[in-house]
Structure 1
Amino acid sequence: MGQHKTWQERREQLIEATIVSIHEDGLEKTSIQRIAKRAGLTAGIVGHYFGDKDGLLNATYDALYAKILANAERASNSQQSPAARVKSILLGYLSPDQLTPEIVTAWYVLVARLRQSPALQEIQLNAEITVRGKLRALLNEELSSMDAEALSRGLFAMVTGFWVLMASDPASQDYDAHRKSILSVIERFLKAYSLRDT
């Protein structure tokens, strides 16, 4: 007899199926029926939990950010120097679980929907406020409030811009090279403000 799945397990199963469907089928062909089939569930269950396709896309975007925010929380609470913690937060965007073709495609497609979706905009804004707030708080330990604000904005914009650049070139999947490049730029930014990450 199969084990009864919890709501959280089903939710994760459906979000994973959504990410794969976006990558393999494209957003237009991604449907509740396709997602349900991939997850081994019924379309009725998807509707019960998420309402419709937009509800599932919103939950997927929220889940993608939840992983990054969890990384940011761990990094900001570590015992490293403020600069090292700033770098760790930003590298949460570039961790191996974020640099898969499926995840990169999902990010790119969902970010492209921001202008048409107030719900996605709200998720984006809340995540940005959280991440930039953590960066700014750490940088305030070493810099003036004006410099901390400017650097937190610049670093956040650079890392999110990295996603767009990387995802817009589907032929380039050398994610390790991308990660090394962006890490080098982060370190240069920190050095420009005389911040050491050790």
Structure 2
Amino acid sequence: MTQSTEGPRFRRYSSETRAAMLVEAGLACLARGGITAFTIDNICAEAAVSRGLINHHFGSKDGLLAACYATMYDRFTSAVAPGGAALRGEASGLVHLVEANFAPAVFNPDSLRIWLALWGEIANNPALRNVHRARYQDFLFQVARAVTETASSRGLTVNAHSVAVLFIALSDGLWLEQGIDPTMLSRDAARRACYHFLESFLGPLDPMNLANPPGGDPA
């Protein structure tokens, strides 16, 4: 009898690794075909796992979809959040927020397709809606804190919460419009619109305009 030299057919992974693989498979399906491609068969084929693992790790396909949303939002906020610079009262935190929002690593065709699929499900999916609420509130707090610290360092008084709400809505809308048809709105035009909005409350932020002192006329 000839002994097979092939390795084991299936690899053993930890529970955490399997769950992460399913999330990545789900995101790949969303990027490739939107929500209609987010099926158990497609996801399991992408991850090379059995159908039962989705229920085992996430309870249901909706549970996996919520995990995909959480992963996308966490990746987004880790890339664009103002971070420590804003806590020191520096404008660099808000500059990073604007610049990272439209950086290719965050803004690309795959991420656009994934976000469109996820946003379209929020209204009808309670699990997804709960994840969105928690992540949005955390990001809103971070943006408002950056606005507050920048305003304070410049001796300005602003309603940081309202500015943060409006900024997120503006950047989301520009992000979507630029992604749908970049011939109508360039990446740089979207970026400059975000700076223009923030500068109307805080003075110059755009690195191209920082030659003007706070309170002066932006270029």
Structure 2 unaligned spans of 5+: 1-6, 211-219
Asked if the contact 2:79–2:106 (Cα under 8 Å) also holds between the matched residues in 1, the reply is no
Letter of the 1:150 partner, please give it.
Answer: S
Once residues 119 and 25 of structure 2 are traced to their aligned partners in structure 1, the CA distance between those partners, rounded to angstroms, is 18
Larger Rg: 2
Q: Percent sequence identity over matched residues?
A: 19
Once residues 71 and 202 of structure 2 are traced to their aligned partners in structure 1, the CA distance between those partners, rounded to angstroms, is 35
Once residues 27 and 192 of structure 1 are traced to their aligned partners in structure 2, the CA distance between those partners, rounded to angstroms, is 39
Aligned to 1:153: 165
TM-score (norm 2): 0.74
Q: Could you tell which deviates more after superposition, 91-100 or 30-39?
A: 91-100
Letter of the 1:105 partner, please give it.
Answer: R
Q: Does 1:27 align with 2:35?
A: yes
Asked if the contact 2:175–2:190 (Cα under 8 Å) also holds between the matched residues in 1, the reply is no
User: Greater relative contact order: 1 or 2 (C-alpha under 8 angstroms, separation 6 or more)?
Assistant: 1
Letter of the 1:187 partner, please give it.
Answer: Y
CA shift in 2, pair 1:190/1:26, >3 Å: closer
Q: How does 1:12-161 map to 2 (within 5 A)?
A: 12-73=20-81, 75-78=82-85, 82-141=90-149, 142=151, 143-146=156-159, 148-161=160-173
Q: Deviations over 1:135-162 (max 9, x none)?
A: 111222214242x223211111111223
Once residues 55 and 168 of structure 2 are traced to their aligned partners in structure 1, the CA distance between those partners, rounded to angstroms, is 35
Structure 1 unaligned spans of 5+: none
TM-score (norm 1): 0.81
Shift of 1:72: 4.6
CA shift in 2, pair 1:127/1:195, >3 Å: farther
Q: Could you tell which deviates more after superposition, 186-195 or 154-163?
A: 186-195
CA shift in 2, pair 1:173/1:181, >3 Å: closer
- What secondary structure, in the 3-state scheme, does the structure 1 residue paired with 2:32 have? helix
- Aligned-residue RMSD, C-alpha: 2.6
Once residues 19 and 103 of structure 2 are traced to their aligned partners in structure 1, the CA distance between those partners, rounded to angstroms, is 22
Q: How many residues align?
A: 191
